[in-house]
Structure 1
Amino acid sequence: MRNTPLSQVDATPRPVLAIATDYPPDTLLPRHVHRRAQFLYAMSGLMEVQTDDGAWVIPPYSGVWIPPGKPHQVRMRGVSTRSLYIEPEAVPRTGDACEALQVGPLLHQLLLASAEVPALYAPAGRDGLLLGLILHELGSARRLPLFAPMPAEPALARLCQALLVKPAITVRAEEWARSMNMSPRTFSRRFREQTGLSFGQWRQQACLMAAVTRLAAGEAVTAIALDLGYDSSSAFASAYRRVMGQPPSAARRGT
């Protein structure tokens, strides 16, 4: 199915629905929720996803897993997508948190083919087998480190949201601790309790997410590194490679 609203087919008695959709640049899908789980795959462009749990950046050839009933907002930056909507009893992944997932060559081709599957497909036919294989591949897809969990404490969440808007590797935990009238040790403990990450890890995630967006837009590695506060492009490239498993130049080329 292509450019079909989910509302038109959601009641179809099938465990999986596949819909291909093209979005104009900078399209915002305001906060909403689906009864079914969703796997949202970016064939091109970039997606920025926000939930109550945190924020994700999803580059091309990656996707985001959204559990059933999870409120979310998505900004599409020139994206052509393949979406799978999956009945709760058929979901291939456990847990109630969103995940950024790597899409390998086989899953990519399967998702391409899924656009031709009608809503009322034959479960035992080719289309049903194709969607069944997609579910299997989704269940074993590798999670990508493109997530900044959002703390529940309002004051801390406001600081995190501000850093997502203007990320900088030079922001120090001591500054945030002072603004919240906490000792550095208390702040560090509270931050890890709220996010599951140390402040330094979270700050790096925020910077890398911003970098992925800018690299996908074709910006120079050196300019991004300096804007984010790294001492040099090599220091930035080292941090990027350590987390992403590839140099930033690969993301800029779209490889």
Structure 2
Amino acid sequence: MRNIPVADVEDLDRAVLAIGTDYPHQHVLALHEHRRAQVLYAATGVMRVETAEGAWTVPTARAVLIPPRTPHRVTMTGVSTRSLYIEPAAAPWFPPRCRVVDVSALLRALLLDAVDMEPRYPEHGRDATAVSLILHELRNLTPLPLDVPLPSDPGLRRLCEAFLRAPDIHDPPGRWATALSVSERTLGRLFHRETGMSFKRWRQRACIVHSLQQMAAGVPVTRLAATLGYDNPAAFTAAFKKVLGRPPTAFTTAGRLGPDA
């Protein structure tokens, strides 16, 4: 199935529905939720998924797992998606919180094939076997640290959201502490309690995650490094590899589809 709303087919009596959708550049899906669990795969482009708990950036050839009944908003940068909508009973192992994952070559091929299956595929046969293999592969995906958790504390959340709009790797914790009228030590404790991360680690991850969308939009690494406050492109690349284990090129050239995919 391609370019149809999931609401039109959500009640079909099949464990997995597969839909391919092409979105206009910088398209935004307003806050919504699904009854089924969703595997949202970026065949091209980069997505940003936001919930009350945080934000997840999904580069090309990766996917995000979205639990059932999770209100979320999605910003698309040059995106074509392949989505799986899974009956909750068919995936009791599905994570309770959004998660960005690497996608194996096998699962990628299955995702691309699934969108061309009949919506009410026979319960026994080739397509049903493919669906069983998809569910098996989904259980063994490698998580990627591409989430930026957001605090529930209103004052700290405002600061975090402002930072995400204009990240700076050298933004000092003292500025945040002053804005909240607390000491830097108190800020550190608050940050860890609210996000599960230290201020420094959260700041670094936020900068690197932000860079993925900018690179997808064609911003050169040299300009991006300067905008984020890194001393030079090499320093940015080193930080990128420290967070994600691979250089920026691994996230800008992988998994691009041809016109017939």
The bucket for the TM-score relative to the shorter chain is over 0.9
Contiguous gaps of at least 5 residues in structure 1:
none
Instruction: Report if the CA contact (8 A) 1:92-1:136 is conserved.
Output: no
Q: Aligned partners of 2:213, 2:71: CA distance in 1, in Å?
A: 23
1:39 and 2:39 correspond = yes
Count of aligned pairs: 255
Instruction: Report if the CA contact (8 A) 1:16-1:84 is conserved.
Output: yes
Other-structure match for 1:242: 242
Instruction: Report if the CA contact (8 A) 2:66-2:98 is conserved.
Output: yes
Other-structure match for 2:258: none
Q: Aligned partners of 2:6, 2:73: CA distance in 1, in Å?
A: 16
Q: Aligned partners of 1:26, 1:170: CA distance in 2, in Å?
A: 28
Once the two structures are superposed, what CA deviation does each residue of 1:141-165 show, in whole Å capped at 9, x if it has no partner?
A: 1111111001011111111100111
Contiguous gaps of at least 5 residues in structure 2:
256-261
Pairwise CA distance, 1:251: 3.0
TM-score by length of 2: 0.94
Tell me the percent identity.
46
Other-structure match for 1:100: 100
Instruction: Give the direction of change, closer, same or farther, for the CA distance of 1:16–1:252 in structure 2 (3 Å limit).
Output: closer
Instruction: Give the direction of change, closer, same or farther, for the CA distance of 1:108–1:92 in structure 2 (3 Å limit).
Output: farther
Other-structure match for 1:90: 90
Instruction: Give the direction of change, closer, same or farther, for the CA distance of 1:110–1:34 in structure 2 (3 Å limit).
Output: same
Pairwise CA distance, 1:74: 0.4
1:145 and 2:142 correspond = no
Paired AA for residue 77 in structure 1: T
Counting only pairs closer than 5 Å after superposition, residues 117-156 of structure 1 correspond to structure 2 as 117-156=117-156
Once the two structures are superposed, what CA deviation does each residue of 1:131-189 show, in whole Å capped at 9, x if it has no partner?
A: 11111111111111111001011111111100111011011112111110111111101
Pairwise CA distance, 1:253: 3.9
Pairwise CA distance, 1:254: 4.4
TM-score by length of 1: 0.96
Other-structure match for 1:25: 25
| Runs of 4+, deviation exceeding 6 Å | none
Pairwise CA distance, 1:218: 2.6
Other-structure match for 2:228: 228
1:159 and 2:156 correspond = no
Paired AA for residue 249 in structure 2: S
Pairwise CA distance, 1:92: 5.7
Other-structure match for 1:52: 52
Q: Aligned partners of 1:253, 1:98: CA distance in 2, in Å?
A: 24
Q: Aligned partners of 2:83, 2:99: CA distance in 1, in Å?
A: 15
Once the two structures are superposed, what CA deviation does each residue of 1:108-128 show, in whole Å capped at 9, x if it has no partner?
A: 101010011122111221111
Other-structure match for 2:4: 4
1:218 and 2:218 correspond = yes
Paired AA for residue 70 in structure 1: T
Q: Aligned partners of 2:249, 2:108: CA distance in 1, in Å?
A: 22
Once the two structures are superposed, what CA deviation does each residue of 1:38-74 show, in whole Å capped at 9, x if it has no partner?
A: 0000100111110111011111000110000100000
Counting only pairs closer than 5 Å after superposition, residues 61-100 of structure 1 correspond to structure 2 as 61-91=61-91, 93-100=93-100
Q: Aligned partners of 2:93, 2:152: CA distance in 1, in Å?
A: 25
Q: Aligned partners of 1:185, 1:216: CA distance in 2, in Å?
A: 37
| Pairwise CA RMSD | 1.3
Instruction: Give the direction of change, closer, same or farther, for the CA distance of 1:249–1:206 in structure 2 (3 Å limit).
Output: same
Other-structure match for 1:185: 185
Instruction: Report if the CA contact (8 A) 1:219-1:252 is conserved.
Output: no
Paired AA for residue 18 in structure 2: A
Paired AA for residue 224 in structure 1: L
Question: Greater CA deviation, 81-90 or 92-101?
Answer: 92-101
